[in-house]
Amino acid sequence: MEERYYATGRRKTSIARVWLTQGSGKVMVNKREVINYFSEMQILHAMQPLKNVGVEGEFDIWCTVKGGGISGQAGALRHGLARALVVANEEFRRPLRKGGFLTRDSRMVERKKYGQPGARKRFQFSKR
């Protein structure tokens, strides 16, 4: 049986579960080809970890992403892909860490507060 490597990636409210197998570079996202799921810029962003360690086209990638929007899902795929590459080969850890791919981007949407229309915005002030 072929060896599969698994990792989870997160970004904003999106979660990506990523599986890698040795293969020809086929990428599936939620049972669809990656080209039919993400835009060209998001694909480039999500596949950066492969380019960083120089293994593009060597792994088949199968992943499920849920939650958030398209850009958050692309970021979650990027994070999960980097973590799965480390599981596949521990030597990839140093270049991926140096490139910042293994650090989870912890920025989240700030919550809306009561007594105001948004997180920071205030209702219009009137002196009289």
Residue indicated by tokens 């939620």: 30
How far is Cα 128 from Cα 121, in angstroms, rounded to an integer? Answer: 21
pLDDT for 76 equals 97
Residue 122's contacts (CB-CB under 8 Å, 6 or more residues apart) are 116
Take residue 59 and report the two structure tokens written for it. 């792994």
CATH of domain 4-99: 3.30.230.10
Query: Strand, coil or helix: what is 81?
Result: helix
pLDDT for 23 equals 92
For 53-67, how does the pLDDT look when each residue is reduced to its tens digit (9 = 90+)?
Answer: 999 999 999 999 999
Going from N- to C-terminal start, the domains of the chain cover 4-99
pLDDT for 28 equals 96
Q: What are the φ and ψ backbone dihedral angles of 82, each rounded to 5 degrees?
A: -60, -45
pLDDT for 4 equals 95
Strand partners, 9: 16
Given a cut of 70, the residues of the chain with pLDDT beneath it are 1
